[in-house]
Structure 1
């Protein structure tokens, strides 16, 4: 859980507040954007498109996905800490609901094929992202994994959609913070990430994350 003072705001709102705090802090440069939230009726219409294009008559967008995108339409927080010796930075770039299923550059790829592969959800950098495994034949909640295409590695994450943005805010979206929730992650990397989170929160007067 987070320290007191971060309140009961949604994860998206907390990330927005972090961006504003960084913009007011001379030690940071930050930018924040958020996409419009789709109305439930618009999500229903998109679900019909997915059913038709994937040829799965009974497909339903997972409840966890619907709930997540009722909070945000997708967002982008990017920041750097000025004059830091280790070039501290952070990023949270959550795609829109439509991009989650099929990006513009996938127009020539069938929806069924798109759903059969890990779907980029939070873009860390080129070829590196948190992905959702959207099994169109399963009613189970989609699984989050950390995918590094350059290293050809896939790390399961002990994270879920309902709490994802809260965890991102707690860790100030520090670069690769998600790996703190990964399996078989080297202890040296965990210490490095913990240190980056602590330093960032201290610089913003946020206190420490209570685990």
Structure 2
């Protein structure tokens, strides 16, 4: 599945559950960053992170943020309370530096030394990125603060959005892609439950 199709499906889910009485939902979608704005942001990074040199945004990030500006979707099925979907894809500016970090005087260079939240599930769980100073390799890491768990995922950012769409943000789907045993094995029952819950997606 192409990433733009994946984002379209996530937006369709959000619009569907927002209008459906069988769901509780929070849904927000943000405008896509234009290519020229992305180039401008790349220049800001070069200025504020001189050790990065002639920094070039990783291709996978350009592809992700060429398909979605940012996205927040939290749905709960009233008929089956164990069915919950959560995703909060952080915008590209916040990925490198949040407003709070900026107000504290942290530079982009400082921020990028840390694992950066990319998809926030809740207060204790998120999927973070290790942003490279050079090159296109972006590592994704699943973090559970309560369990003191940090596990690399066998997905790049584009693949992550595609799989997020397939599982409709179902809580815990990322565990299918922990690096190691069974990584990338489809949870057929979960995918089928999502098909039944959202039949209009085919």
- Scaled to the shorter chain, the TM-score interval is 0.7 to 0.9
Normalised to the residue count of structure 2, the TM-score between the two structures is 0.85
Deviations 1:70-110 (A, max 9, x none): 11111111100114253x21111101010010011111212
Instruction: Tell me the C-alpha RMSD between the 2 structures.
Output: 2.7
| 1:186-197 paired onto structure 2 within 5 Å | 195-197=189-191
Would you say how many aligned residue pairs link Structure 1 and Structure 2? Answer: 198
| Structure 2: gaps of 5 or more residues | none
User: For the residues of structure 2 that align with 1:85 and 1:51, how far apart are their CA atoms?
Assistant: 47
Summarize the Cα distance change of 1:85–1:58 in structure 2 as closer, same or farther, 3 Å threshold.
closer
1:8 positional shift: 8.9
Q: Distance in 1 between matches of 2:43 and 2:81?
A: 50
Residue 120 of structure 1, aligned match among 112, 117, 120? 117
Instruction: Tell me whether 1:60 sits opposite 2:65 in the alignment.
Output: no
Rounded to whole Å, the distance in 2 between the matches of 1:85 and 1:169 is 20
1:203 aligns with 2:200: no
Instruction: Name the SS of the counterpart of 1:91 in structure 2.
Output: strand
Q: How does 1:1-211 map to 2 (within 5 A)?
A: 10-55=5-50, 56-86=52-82, 88-107=83-102, 108-136=105-133, 138-183=134-179, 195-205=189-199
* TM-score in terms of structure 1 length: 0.82
